[in-house]
Amino acid sequence: MKYLFKILRFDPRQDEHPYFQDYSYETEETKSVLEALMEIRNVQDCSLSFRYSCREAICGSCAMVVNGKFDLACRTELESLDSPLIVVEPLPNLEIQKDLVVDLDPFWEALVKIEPFLHSEGAIPEKGHRIEDEKIDKIFQYVNCILCGCCYSACPVVSKRENYLGPAALAKLYRFVKDPRDKRPFKNWSRVNTEGGAWGCHTIFKCNEVCPKEVRPADGIEALRRKLIVEKIKSLNPFKR
Amino acid sequence: MLSHDILIVGGGLAGLSAALSSDPSLSVAVISKVHPLRSHSVAAQGGINAALGNNPDGKDDSWERHAFDTIKGSDYLADQDTAELMCQEASLTIYELEHLGVPFSRFPGGVIAQRPFGGAGFPRTCYAADRTGLVILHTLYEQSVRQNVRFYNEWLVTQLVVKDGRCLGVIVYDLENAEFMPVQAKAVVFATGGYGRVYMKTTNAFINHGSGIGAAYRAGVPLKDLEFVQFHPTSLLGKNILITEGARGEGGYLVNNKGRRFMEDYAPRSMELSPRDIVARAIQTEIDKGNGYESQYVHLDIRHLGAEKIKKRLPGIREICINFAGLDPIDTPIPIQPAQHYSMGGIDVDKNCASAVEGFYAAGECACVSVHGANRLGGNSLLDTVVFGKIAGKKISEYVRGANGVTDSEKNLLDAALKFKNRVEGWRKKDSGEKFHILMGRLKALMNEKVGLFRNKNELAQCLETIQELREAYEYVYISGPCLRFSQELVNIIEYESMLDLAEVITIGALNREETRGSHYRLDFEKRNDDEWLKHTLITWKEGKPQISYKDVFIGKYQPAERKY
Ligand SMILES: Cc1cc2nc3c(=O)[nH]c(=O)nc-3n(C[C@H](O)[C@H](O)[C@H](O)COP(=O)(O)OP(=O)(O)OC[C@H]3O[C@@H](n4cnc5c(N)ncnc54)[C@H](O)[C@@H]3O)c2cc1C
Ligand code: SF4
Ligand code: SF4
Ligand code: FES
């Protein structure tokens, strides 16, 4: 099969504008977009830059936009695109560092803001914590997040509102407050009770749509909102603390 | 010059464990060539071992049984004191990880679930479905965020700088800024992972080139037991993505083209749950005998586990099969074949993770303590990374608190950085020559063919010759891309030199070791030979070439006996 790749190129330290470069690529085998990019790099143009590591859709390195669709390049098979023309672009709404490599710092910084670590209390229980499997099942949906950045990059609110935490961070927060071991006080996480936090989301579900791991982060945001309301009511009721 | 008390190279499980256990009053930093969460540890699936005794069939389990299984599994090449140390620490390590946030799967009653794994007398592998690496790596990363660990991401360490037996720091290539610079440190820990990509067929990430082990070797640190290369029995046909041993732990069968569970002929008692070396050879033997499919693979059948169990306990495997093989294991058997998976050997360190070079430590897959000897048991590597990563962090902190400064350290580092820069310039000046990917492809194919599951003298000797040719070709390698920012070409050219070194060390070790032990199977010496070969191989880069020596194995309670499964 013969393909024409149009790949977005940009080196902000040299180029004035991003531009598309064409590469023709031919293969008889089943190849992923990532494998094709690597071959194009090796054989045709060693200056082409992109990130990768695991090649099995678990490390979150290779998120990009292929023929308009957000996905991991390593799990996107050329054949599945059903087109001889393949347009490859970096994740939007993030600064391009070079070609398909984008600066994810805003994404990581948003994550840090929700204190993304278990607030467990006290000493390690001698025989471990006791947690029913159903409780673990409930958070596992969010635990599956590989922090690839697709949802953050695709979210229309992130692109407009600078301080919006974005889907992955908010879903991660929900993963922790839902964890029976997590003892963070309500006043700590109620900080997301704002437009920059849980209420910023316009429930457009773009994040759910683009997530390659079926995390459905917007489910987490909605659940977080419900929990915020419940906790708020609880904290207002002087008889039940 | 950038300077830290402790530099940790590698942001996988071993590196993050080391960072978290280092003395926080010291200045500690982690350098990694990818963001820590992109490290290969994230891909670990099946689980991590500890004799918690939570499985109803594992009530009588103990750390001693775990240690015995580890030593027996190692074909008695593990140092028994270190294997015992790891197993003794295991239960507490699991509870610590859990307290830090790891969401392990559960048994009724809420205790951590445990599944059977190969070569283990009891079901002792703790797991989070089949995403154990993901959850542990993310948890340790979260803790590093909490502790404000300093990270330098997308920096490739190209050289370990050692002067007069003392470690001074490293040279790095900063991918974003295309800069080459020295980083000074009182002590350095390498936690740089394995070298799986030296082989064509491997379960490892694309980035696993082994350049950390290579850098240590070039700095004169001995490498130990590199000939012991683990081939995992079950990698998905095609891309060789791992299908976890957990699939067999949950009850999966290996079936040949006659529809037979052929493990009966090789290990009638343990069947599919024998150690990996035995199962991998059995599969390859079936394929070679014509009992495979298309002379390439056999089936891993998990259909009888039922949709519910597969979705709950093996969701990642199902996703991999659907994404990468276009099949659903609920309805269709999985086509699998053995592939390189793990390195038992590595940088020679003692039980404090200290090497022969003062101030230089190593932990995780890049190190050889040795707890895995000639064959590692599934679920023991994650344990190794966390336990020894932690030990490394503590011991290196102790060392740094007592260490004196080195005069001329800066000058030596600057010289080394300049030399390196000139080398890069040399590759850049050429406008024709050898391209890295062609050389790399040849090396990988060579290793797969000549230093695989079954080895013999002729092929190993031929392999060494070809490696020599590839070395000569490397002299002509050149950089074709005009820009050095985020240049994977440059990364690959640098790492390829390490790959050549490691290929050579693996092959020399394999050629000299005239016996069969664990993963090292010599068709011309099919028996284990304790009289002559119950010893570790050490290979050191000295005076411009590899020099071989040997070191005793620490035998404790368990006298070497024949392995039967
Ligand atoms: C698919 C798969 C599944 C597995 N499943 C299991 C399992 O279920 N149970 C189990 O016990 N074991 C398992 N293993 C083995 C285990 O996952 C690995 O041995 C272990 O994770 C290695 O961890 P590490 O920290 O030593 O290295 P890694 O996680 O590989 O990390 C290496 C780090 O070093 C950095 N690095 C490397 N070289 C350089 C350099 N030159 N400069 C700068 N940085 C560098 C990398 O960026 C990375 O951060 C599995 C292995 C594979 C391949
Ligand atoms: S929620 Fe999905 S899309 Fe967003 S970072 Fe996590 S895995 Fe990626
Ligand atoms: S649902 Fe909310 S978080 Fe998700 S993409 Fe839409 S606005 Fe963003
Ligand atoms: S390379 Fe890891 S997710 Fe694609």
Kindly report the pTM of this predicted structure. 0.97
Best residue in B486, B490, B493 to probe A by mutation, most A CBs within 10 Å? B486
Pair B224, B237 in one domain: no
Task: Determine, yes or no, domain membership for B35.
Answer: yes
Q: Do B511 and B406 fall into the same domain?
A: yes
| Pairing mode, strands B346-348 and B360-362 | unpaired
Tokens read off for A219: 């489910």
Nearest Cα of chain A lies from the Cα of B40 at a distance, in angstroms, of 6
Chain A: give the shortest CA distance to residue B495, in Å.
15
User: Taking a C-beta distance cutoff of 8 angstroms, is the pair A114, A165 a contact?
Assistant: yes
Which amino acid, B538? L
Domain shared by B361 and B258, yes or no: no
Contact B187, B423 (CB under 8 A): no
List, in order of start, the domains of chain A with CATH numbers.
2-102 (3.10.20.30), 105-236 (1.10.1060.10)
| Domain's final residue, options B304, B339, B374 | B339
Residue A190 near chain B (CB below 8 Å) = no
| DSSP β-bridge partners for residue A65 | A70, A89
Quickly state the pLDDT bin for B329 (edges 50, 70, 90). Answer: very high
User: Could you tell me if the CB of A145 is within 6 A of ligand 2?
Assistant: yes
Residue B137 lies in a domain: no
Same domain, B295 and B417: no
d(CA B40, CA B43): 6
Minimum Cα–Cα distance from A182: chain B residue: B101
Whether the CB of A44 is below 8 Å from some CB of chain B: the reply is: no
Mean pLDDT on B418-437: 94
Residue B486: inside a domain, yes or no? yes
pLDDT digits (tens, 9 = 90+) for B166-192: 999 999 999 999 999 999 999 999 999
Q: Which of B339, B370, B398 is the last residue of a domain?
A: B339
In a domain, residue B52? The reply is no
- Measured in angstroms, the CA of A168 and the nearest CA of chain B are apart by 14
Question: Distance between terminal CA atoms of chain B?
Answer: 56
Tell me whether residue A154 is exposed, middle or buried, using C-beta atoms within 10 angstroms of its C-beta: 0 to 12, 13 to 18, 19 or more: buried
Q: How far apart are the C-alpha atoms of A213 and B272, rounded to whole Å?
A: 30
Indicate whether B211 and B253 sit together in one domain.
Answer: no
Report the amino acid identity of residue B152.
Y
B139 found inside a domain: no
Exposure pattern of A118-129 as b/e (b: 16+ CB <10 Å)? Answer: bbbeeeeeeebb
Rounded Cα distance between B387 and B397, Å, is 16
Same domain membership, residue B296 and residue B350: no
Asked if residue B219 and residue B252 are part of one domain, the reply reads: no
Q: What is the CATH number of the domain that holds B205?
A: 3.50.50.60
Q: Which residue has the tokens 């640098």?
A: B494
B202-261 residue pLDDT tens: 999 999 999 999 999 999 999 999 999 999 999 999 999 999 999 999 999 999 999 999
Find the closest chain B residue to A137 by CA distance.
Answer: B105
Q: Please check the confidence at residue B466 and state whether its pLDDT lies above 80.
A: yes
pLDDT in the model for residue A234: 84
DSSP 8-state assignment for residue A78: G
Active site residue B376: no
pLDDT in tens, chain A (241 residues): 999 999 999 999 999 999 999 999 999 999 999 999 999 999 999 999 999 999 999 999 999 999 999 999 999 999 999 999 999 999 999 999 999 999 999 999 999 999 999 999 999 999 999 999 999 999 999 999 999 999 999 999 999 998 999 999 999 999 999 999 999 999 899 999 999 999 999 988 999 999 999 999 999 999 999 999 998 888 887 665 4
Distances in Å between the Cα of B150 and the Cα atoms of A43, B19, B153 are: 37, 9, 10
Of the pLDDT bands very low, low, confident and very high (cuts 50, 70, 90), residue B455 is very high
Residue type, A127: K
Domain final residue, candidates B339, B368, B392 = B339
Q: Which residue of A has its CA nearest to B238?
A: A30
B60 in any annotated domain: no
Residue type, B60: D
The pLDDT tens digits for B533-559 are 999 999 999 999 999 999 999 999 999
Q: Which residues are B298's β-sheet partners?
A: B336
Same domain, B195 and B250: no
Chain A interface mutation, best of B99, B439, B477, highest count of A Cβ atoms under 10 Å: B99
User: Would you state the pLDDT for residue A162?
Assistant: 85
**φ/ψ (deg, to 5) at B42:** -60, -20
Q: Is A147 in the pocket of ligand 2 (CB under 6 A)?
A: yes
Secondary-structure breakdown of chain A: helix, strand, coil percentages, each rounded to the nearest 5: 40, 15, 45
Structure tokens at B146: 């909490």
Report pLDDT for A240: 56
Tokens representing B480 are 């074709």
**Contact of B333 with B300, CB cutoff 8 Å:** yes
Q: For B296-322, what is each residue's pLDDT tens digit?
A: 999 999 999 999 999 999 999 999 999
- Ligand 3: which atom is nearest the Cα of residue A166? 3
Nearest to B275 by CA among B293, B263, B288: B263
Q: What pLDDT is stored for residue A238 in this prediction?
A: 66
- Note whether B336 and B346 are within 8 A (CB): no
Radius of gyration of chain B measured on its C-alpha atoms: 23
Q: Where are the beta strands (DSSP E) in A37-171?
A: 63-66, 69-72, 85-89, 96-98, 101-102
B171 and B217 housed in the same domain: yes
Residues of chain B positioned with their CB less than 8 A from the CB of A48? 481
To test ligand 2's pocket by mutation, which of A75, A211, A221 has the most ligand atoms within 8 angstroms of CB? Answer: A211
Domain contains B59: no
Q: Quick check: B71 pLDDT over 70?
A: yes
Catalytic residue (choose from B276, B376, B455, B513): B276
First to last CA, chain A: 66
| Residue B307: domain span | 232-339
* Total of domains in chain B: 2
Closest protein CA for atom 2 of ligand 3: A201
Residue-wise over A25-48: b if at least 16 C-beta within 10 A, else e?
beeeebbbbbbbbbbbbbeebbbb
What is the mean pLDDT of the segment spanning B360-375? 97
B55 contacts on A by Cβ (under 8 Å): none
Task: Give the pLDDT confidence of B87-106 residue by residue, as tens digits.
Answer: 999 999 999 999 999 999 99
Residues B172 and B270 in one domain: no
CB B385 within 8 Å of CB B8: no
Whether B323 maps to a domain, the answer reads: yes
B301 and B378: one domain? no
| Residues 6 or more apart whose Cβ sits within 8 Å of residue B507 | B227, B450, B451, B460, B463, B464, B467
Dihedral in degrees, nearest 10, Cα atoms A44, A50, A53, A58: -130
- Provide the β-strand partners of residue B181: B172
CATH number of the domain encompassing residue B280: 3.90.700.10
Residues B176 and B312 in one domain: no
CB contacts, 8 Å: A127 with chain B: 95, 111
- Residues B497, B520: Cα–Cα separation, whole Å: 24
User: Burial, A226: exposed, middle or buried (Cβ in 10 Å; 0-12, 13-18, 19+)?
Assistant: exposed
Q: State the Cα–Cα distance between residues B120 and B525, nearest whole angstrom.
A: 27
Average pLDDT, chain B: 96
- In this prediction, residue B405 carries a pLDDT of 78
